[in-house]
Structure 1
Amino acid sequence: MPQNEPTFAELLSATEHSAVHLEMRDTYAVTQETEAFAAWRDGFRYDPVDRASWWRPFLDLISETVNRGVVVRRARIVSEPVTEYIRYEHSGTFTNVAAGEQVRWLPRRLASDIALPGNDFWLFDGRLVRFHHFTGDGAWTADTFDTEPAVVKLCASAFETVWERATPHDRYTV
């Protein structure tokens, strides 16, 4: 990452009102999840009662952000039946919710008429978009930033439309 690009923690620290995240892939192959995904495949599941076993720095960051009054929401557009990776994500999403993040799921078939950007993104305070770029296999390649009003408007509109149609995490089954 170039020196002038803020880290995710810096972006959230500077956020005053809202941070929204739209995920649209059915599989990710990000390096930091390799071991956890393999363990999940082998039958490991987080124990909701044993918070110390699953709480991690990312969740601290989300919790601190929410405690400052920032609303953090994540929406996932997924194909159904869902992929193995989405089952993995779903099984651990209660940790995000415990940290204060609101999460919803939208079946892809219900998103056909929504104008969506081509990449997953975070939108901070309705002003700054951080796009995530992945290879076809799901490996992360880069992030780019955009403040162009038309791009911000597209992302905000896409997210809100998805959010309105999506099912809250506690009611979505895989």
Structure 2
Amino acid sequence: MSWSPTFDELMAGCTTAYHLEMRDSYAVDYEAGPFAEWRAGYRHDPANRASWWRPWLDMVAGEVARGVDIRRARIVSEPVSEYTRFLYDGTFTNVAAGEQVRWLARRRASDIALPGNDFWLFDGKWVHWNHFAGDGSSLGEEITNDPVSAKLCTEAFESVWTRAIPHAEYKI
């Protein structure tokens, strides 16, 4: 097995980091945690940054401050799932940290060649695959600099990004 950098190493050394999410839900705990709290009525307070998703948002803010272009595109079914509504309600925190976030209705992605898994793409060269089970639980990750995978992900992300609607304009 050849060496590959970790996600953190890729993020710390890149100039672009693009994330494509294509699931309508991820591992959901209906009894405890952020999703359960959201279902019970909790919403992030825009004025209370300390209560937001840490340490992720701190890392994003730091990387954006050093000049990294961080983009997240979400392909979603419409009407959106309850979990997508949860993500949507909290996305302002990602945007405040410096991520650019866009949404694309799944029906508008039918003619885009998409990989079979969510991914992060770093500098158009490294792909960090996220593998999930049917219930949304993580099955782990895989990191590769395979040029065929990188090309597929670059083309898929750019096609999605071009069609997707910026978070501030997307209404659910």
TM-score, normalized by the shorter chain, greater than 0.5 = yes
**Equivalent residue number for residue 138 of structure 1:** 136
Alignment of 1:1-174 (within 5 A): 6-15=5-14, 17-29=15-27, 35-54=33-52, 56-174=54-172
Query: Per-residue CA shift, 1:101-147, capped at 9, x if unaligned?
Result: 00000000000000000000000011100000000010011101121
| 1:148 Cα deviation from its structure 2 partner | 1.4
Preserved contact between residue 120 and residue 132 of structure 1 (Cα < 8 Å) = yes
Whole-angstrom CA distance in 2 between matches of 1:28 and 1:13: 26
Shift of 1:91: 0.3
The worse-fitting range, judged by mean Cα deviation, of 141-150 and 86-95 is: 141-150
The residue identity in structure 1 corresponding to 2:68 is V
Deviation at residue 30 of structure 1 after TM alignment? 6.1
Q: How many residues align?
A: 169
Contact 2:77–2:106, Cα closer than 8 Å, also in 1: yes
The offset of 1:41, in angstroms, is: 0.4
Q: CA deviation at 1:42?
A: 0.3
TM-score, with normalisation over the residues of structure 2?
Answer: 0.93
> Shift of residue 55 of structure 1?
5.2
Contact 2:28-2:35 within 8 A present in 1 as well: no
Residue 131 of structure 1 aligns with an amino acid whose one-letter code is W
Mapped to 2, the partners of 1:55 and 1:167 lie a distance apart of 23
Q: Secondary structure at the match of 2:85?
A: helix
CA contact (8 A) 1:30 1:140 kept: no
Shift in Å, 1:7: 3.8
* Shift, 1:50, TM fit: 1.6
Q: Counterpart of 2:7 in structure 1: which amino acid? A: F
Considering fraction of residues, name the structure with more helix. Answer: 1
